Amino acid sequence: MIRYFFLRLAAAVPTLLMIVTATFFLMHAAPGGPFDQEQVLAPEIQANLQRSYGLDLPIWSQYGRYLASLRHGDFGPSFKYKDFTVTELIAQGFPVTFTLGVIAILLALGIGIPLGTLAALHHNTSLDHATMSLAVLGIAVPTFVVLPFLGLLFGVYLHWLPVAGWEARSIRHLALPVIALALPPLAYIARLTRGSMLEIMGAHFIRTAFAKGLPASTVILRHALRPALMPVASYLVPAVASIMTGSLVVESIAGLPGIGRYLVQGALNRDYTLVLGMVIIYSTLLISLGLLVDLLYAWLDPRVRR
Amino acid sequence: MIPILQIEALSVGFLNSGAMNQAVDQVSLRLAPSECVGIVGESGSGKTQMFMAAMGLLAKNAVARGSVRFEGQEILAQKSALRRVRGSKLAMIFQDPLTSLTPHLKIGVQLAEVLVHHNGVSWHEARYIALRMLDQVQIPEPKRRLHEYPHELSGGMRQRVMIAMSLLCRPSLLIADEPTTALDVTVQAQIIELLRAVREEFAMGLVLISHDLAVVGGLAQRILVMYAGRIVESAPAEELFRHPRHPYTAALLKCIPSVFSAPRTRLPSLAGQPPRIGEKLDACAFAPRCPRAAERCRRERPQLQVAAAGEFACHYPEEL
């Protein structure tokens, strides 16, 4: 198991390299560059700019230089935010996005799993139907509709929570963005849990557990829940990926100083280094999460272990 | 003497898209304390569902009517009475020991939780009792097994674990539903031997459900033959083997392969299919497959009648 873990860890390095390479060349293949503007610059200025950022070099040597700087943990300077390095930009915004994302995923799991279990145990009752209708709503209505609606309701009409904005360590400012962000994965997790819970409750070992005279709560929590969570564990990586892309929308609407906006803005501005930095951060997060999910599998089902 | 289990006019039906499919049809039986009874029948004869109903383990769409008394106490209608005895005084083991054990829990936990729940002992003490029980069902290296998962055990060992689990609270009746069907032939014999040994040791009643007369024959004192949701014959094991009265029993006996049968002879088999569940019959359910069937069998359903040694439901029984 430990050997397997380190093998997977080693395999993450070439994966990451492939992602960086693909992103690098795709970004450079896109027409235009970081210094193209409505106002056309004088050719000399343009040339100077290109030279100072190394954009005049052949693409292969640009790629080599970028990889060399990466080896020292340097993501390079941002092309658009001229006074900042990419590392600085990400370091400023990351804690906000990270807090937002972690609370959202915990909320999605913490509410989605019990909700799905409850629906499964009350299969084909009005509770089941109500939960699953809400889940469809949660999946179908996009975040950019949910968040303004929540802001309108709780901010403008009820005055309970701020509509937008950010203060350090303020739960009140995080509440609405987190709810909007958590809603789609929460709904999806509830549906997944319900489905697999229904299947597991028909398994032979559940029948045995009841035949042993165990109370229903023990049967569900000790015998049924863990195998029922397998599909949820599989969904964890895509869930976090969707929260990452979702944070982009949420942060722009709620005006949070996170890093979500850098990915799209960076791509539109052809801010090569910023986009690459973001891609590296997000891929590393997802790859590590994938590893974590593998360990989770082994805990959920000991047959996976070797 | 109060029978350990008394089933009275038990019917089990399954509600499927509005239609009721009858699986068990007005069955009655009583078991004396520490009696060993074999229940034999083809799949779909209702033999398992009858005891699933007694254990309160029927599927959600099932409807059970009638009465089941365990040690004189009604347990079919009174779920609280069932909850008091299920898994402690009244235990059940199942056909496939691999799928019947929880895959992610260690054997030790699955055994100990029974004692923790029923007897209120500590986990530590429960594990100790579980260890001794594993030893009693002849599992090698029982201490190591406590820390293993079901998939790390062999099929025979898993069934031994199931048996140990059912014995932890010293049951007065154990229902074994096809306990050897999923196992190798050699292991089958070992498990039957084990069941025989623990039955004597614990002085408990045993219901042995099987489609295989040969499996049941070695252990049961009395054998009930079921067909299409009803009991068609009931007799002491020896008597049933020597003088089957119902043609179905006689046909089943002919199907048991023997080492003494001449080589290259075809093994006799029973032609035809049992009636589909839910078919309403005003006739003997076995008539279409019965070599002795006459006109009366097709219009009048035979009732169980008392014979010298047991009971049978047939208009034209085999001669003694």
CA nearest to B155, candidates B109, B113, B97, B212: B97
Closest residue in A to B56 (Cα–Cα): A211
Q: Select from B57, B117, B149 the Cβ nearest to the Cβ of A207.
A: B57
Q: Count how many pairs of residues, chain A against chain B, have C-beta atoms within 8 Å.
A: 68
CB-nearest partner of B117 from A214, A223, A302: A214
| 3-class DSSP assignment, residue B222 | strand
pLDDT reported for residue B280: 59
**What is the average pLDDT across A74-87?**
82
Distance separating alpha carbons of residues B174 and B34, to the nearest angstrom: 10
The CA distance from B85 to A304, in Å, is 36
Closest chain B CA to residue A227: B104
Would you state the pLDDT for residue B278?
Answer: 58
Q: Report the residue from B83, B102, B149 with minimal CB separation from A213.
A: B83
Residue whose token pair is 């990270």: A98
For each of the domains in chain A, give its residue range(s) and CATH number, in order of start. Answer: 97-261 (1.10.3720.10)
Q: Are B194 and B133 in contact (CB under 8 A)?
A: no
Which positions in chain B touch A204 (Cβ < 8 Å)?
94, 96, 99-100
Q: Decide which of B308 and B237 is more confident.
A: B237
Beta-bridge partner residues of B222 = B37, B236
Under the banding of pLDDT at 50, 70 and 90, the label for residue A148 is confident
- B144-154: average pLDDT: 93
At what angle are helices A272-300 and A2-29 packed, to 10 degrees? 150
CA–CA gap between residue B169 and residue B114 (Å, rounded):
8
Q: Quote the ipTM score.
A: 0.91
Can you tell me the distance from the alpha carbon of A113 to that of A120, in angstroms, rounded to the nearest whole number?
A: 11
Cβ neighbours of A230 (radius 10 Å): 17
Look at residue B132 in the predicted model and tell me its pLDDT. 94
Q: Do A302 and B151 touch (CB under 8 A)?
A: yes
Confidence of residue B2 (pLDDT cuts 50, 70, 90): confident
CB B303 within 8 Å of CB B246: no
Task: For residue B166, give Cα distances in angstroms to A6, A202, B134, B177, B315.
Answer: 43, 21, 11, 13, 41
Helix (H) or strand (E) holding B20: strand B19-31
| Mean pLDDT value of segment A90-97 | 87
- A302/B101 touch (CB, cutoff 8 Å), yes or no: no
CA distance A269 to chain B (A): 51
Are B103 and A301 inside 8 Å of each other by CB?
yes
Could you tell me which chain B residue has the CA closest to the CA of A302? B104
B98-118 pLDDT, tens per residue?
899 999 999 999 999 999 999
Among B313, B303, B299, CA closest to B246: B313
A212, A217, A218: which to substitute to probe chain B, counting the most B Cβ within 10 Å? Answer: A212
- State residue B279's pLDDT score: 61
